[in-house]
A and B are shown apart, each in its own frame.
Chain A
């Protein structure tokens, strides 16, 4: 990537644009005050790069080149289309910025403003995700539609509507004030985490695009951490994603079947991601301003620490879940906590806690899967089989279904060879 070296491949140009697109669009949104114009301008710059870079080589600062070219192309475009008065006004606006080309500082990065605009609570949650991926991630409408399993026309419509609302309702393009920040930041973090989870809970759809979503979420997480290094929950989310991602390779067999955490080949965990995630968790602990993402990251860090599943420090995990439950007392956190209880106090104690969640979680397959596992460990096979069936009824995820079917089958064959199952305990 030395400057001026010729023979830049199309793939290389794509990569540079993927990396720099968010910054360029963000700067252009500030200059033009219009998201659509900004996107068009950056697209024009990309078209020009595809023409010029293969022979001329990469410019010394690709990001600077993209922004300058996009800005010049938008001036051209506005002049060409200046039949309408407001386009004149926009052209004038652009010239007003002529003397301030190097305004992008670390203090108030345009990308940060754009993230807060995309994640404004006045926008529908699915629009926030789509806009963030489109404007900052640089994913095409088709890619986003594909990842979220909706028709491309539906996704296009959502994006148009969201951009229209930003323009017409005047959703401001800025980072919220200090007093609003914690509340608004939560929304931003949940969008990034949603993108990550959408990629992580793969199985249906095109795997490639979904792995791409994890990478995109981590990239956005790194960007937020770089732009807001003093917000511990930002770091917590990044660490949580890195530690979760570190297990990706071990999480499925070559043919795509699900492998439980306890059964994973820990040799296949990504040590570099674990080291990075754990370092961030330690930095968060030193700050001592815990939040839900930091605690979930810490739980994952404890798992990563154990050389074998048996060596897992479950009492520490249970303490962390106590802490998490105190901050976010949701039934799902209670369910996860019960899994830790089973390891520390035994399945009997865990089962009574899980049963207490029945009214809240009956529709969730995980509730029944956890219950099934506890019943199996307590030797209550017939009830366990029924719980596995309840779990199967509640998930459409192919890998999950295969996993549950295998567990149920194991139990059936165990029961056949166990004479005790002849007597009672069938409810």
Chain B
């Protein structure tokens, strides 16, 4: 089994209204349920807006703390899910379900190593 991280790419700005968000969250939960039932779910998390990020930068013997995010962009990683899948096609199939549920782009990244599972 290979681990893949599915990242959700979210535009910066206002959170959509509850009427928009509610059905999306319902669809997302259904995909998560399906993942767990299939034994493919490993770990998942959602992110706050980049305005809340802090960057730590090593410099000489110190580590400098600054206001984040590290990279400015119109989109940021709004959340991620780590899954187990036998190959890329299987991982892409889960990715498609996420993209449809969340209505945002999803990037599927194979993980080089990991300690889960």
* Number of CB contacts from chain A to chain B under 8 A: 21
Report yes or no: B92 in contact with A170, Cβ–Cβ below 8 A: no
> CB-CB < 8 A to A169: which residues of B?
88, 108, 110
Q: How far is the CA of A172 from the CA of B112 in the complex (A)?
A: 17
> CB-CB < 8 A to B88: which residues of A?
120, 122, 169-172
Which residue, of A169, A171, A172, A176, has the highest number of chain B Cβ atoms within 10 A?
A169
Cβ of A86 within 8 Å of any chain B Cβ, yes or no, is: no
Q: How far is the CB of A346 from chain B (nearest CB, A)?
A: 49
Cβ of A178 within 8 Å of any chain B Cβ, yes or no, is: no
Q: How far is the CA of A169 from the CA of B6 in the complex (A)?
A: 13
Cβ of A255 within 8 Å of any chain B Cβ, yes or no, is: no
Q: How far is the CA of A171 from the CA of B2 in the complex (A)?
A: 11
Cβ of A168 within 8 Å of any chain B Cβ, yes or no, is: yes
Report yes or no: B92 in contact with A122, Cβ–Cβ below 8 A: yes
> CB-CB < 8 A to A171: which residues of B?
87-89
Main secondary structure of the interface of A (DSSP, over half): loop
Q: Which of A110-142 contact B (CB under 8 A)?
A: 120, 122
Q: Which residue of B lies closest to A184 (CB)?
A: B89
Q: Which of B63-117 contact A (CB under 8 A)?
A: 86-89, 92, 108, 110, 112
Report yes or no: B112 in contact with A168, Cβ–Cβ below 8 A: yes
Q: How large is the interface on A (under 10, 10 to 19, 20 to 34, 35 or more residues)?
A: under 10
Q: How far is the CB of A405 from chain B (nearest CB, A)?
A: 47
> CB-CB < 8 A to B112: which residues of A?
168
When each residue 357-396 of chain A gets 1 if its CB lies under 8 Å from chain B and 0 otherwise, what string results? 0000000000000000000000000000000000000000
When each residue 163-182 of chain A gets 1 if its CB lies under 8 Å from chain B and 0 otherwise, what string results? 00000111110001000000
Q: How far is the CB of A112 from chain B (nearest CB, A)?
A: 16
Q: How far is the CB of B20 from chain A (nearest CB, A)?
A: 30
Report yes or no: B89 in contact with A176, Cβ–Cβ below 8 A: yes
Q: How far is the CB of A117 from chain B (nearest CB, A)?
A: 10
Q: How far is the CB of A163 from chain B (nearest CB, A)?
A: 14
Q: How far is the CA of A169 from the CA of B110 in the complex (A)?
A: 5
Q: How far is the CB of B52 from chain A (nearest CB, A)?
A: 31
> CB-CB < 8 A to B86: which residues of A?
170, 172
Q: Which residue of A lies closest to B109 (CB)?
A: A169
> CB-CB < 8 A to A172: which residues of B?
86-89
Q: How far is the CA of A118 from the CA of B2 in the complex (A)?
A: 20
Q: How far is the CB of B82 from chain A (nearest CB, A)?
A: 15
Q: How far is the CA of A168 from the CA of B86 in the complex (A)?
A: 12
Q: How far is the CA of A308 from the CA of B114 in the complex (A)?
A: 69
Q: How far is the CB of B70 from chain A (nearest CB, A)?
A: 24
Report yes or no: B110 in contact with A168, Cβ–Cβ below 8 A: yes
Q: How far is the CA of A148 from the CA of B50 in the complex (A)?
A: 43
Q: How far is the CB of A340 from chain B (nearest CB, A)?
A: 40
Which residue from A120, A122, A170 sits with its C-beta under 8 Å from B2? Answer: A170
> CB-CB < 8 A to A168: which residues of B?
110, 112
Q: How far is the CA of A170 from the CA of B2 in the complex (A)?
A: 8
Q: How far is the CB of A361 from chain B (nearest CB, A)?
A: 30
Q: How far is the CA of A122 from the CA of B96 in the complex (A)?
A: 13
Q: How far is the CB of A185 from chain B (nearest CB, A)?
A: 15
Q: Which residue of A lies closest to B2 (CB)?
A: A170
Q: Which residue of A lies closest to B85 (CB)?
A: A170
When each residue 1-17 of chain B gets 1 if its CB lies under 8 Å from chain A and 0 otherwise, what string results? 01000000000000000
When each residue 90-107 of chain A gets 1 if its CB lies under 8 Å from chain B and 0 otherwise, what string results? 000000000000000000
> CB-CB < 8 A to A120: which residues of B?
88
Q: How far is the CA of A172 from the CA of B2 in the complex (A)?
A: 12
Q: Which residue of B lies closest to A180 (CB)?
A: B89
> CB-CB < 8 A to B89: which residues of A?
171-172, 176
Q: How far is the CA of A182 from the CA of B77 in the complex (A)?
A: 33
Q: Which of A152-171 contact B (CB under 8 A)?
A: 168-171
> CB-CB < 8 A to B108: which residues of A?
169
8 A-B pairs with the lowest CB-CB distances in the bound complex, closest first: A172-B87, A169-B110, A170-B87, A169-B88, A171-B88, A170-B2, A170-B88, A172-B89
- For the complex with contacts A169-B110, A172-B86, A176-B89, 15 further pairs of A-B residues with Cβ separation under 8 Å are A120-B88, A122-B92, A168-B110, A168-B112, A169-B88, A169-B108, A170-B2, A170-B86, A170-B87, A170-B88, A170-B110, A171-B87, A171-B89, A172-B87, A172-B89
What are some 21 contacts across the A-B interface (CB < 8 A)? A120-B88, A122-B88, A122-B92, A168-B110, A168-B112, A169-B88, A169-B108, A169-B110, A170-B2, A170-B86, A170-B87, A170-B88, A170-B110, A171-B87, A171-B88, A171-B89, A172-B86, A172-B87, A172-B88, A172-B89, A176-B89
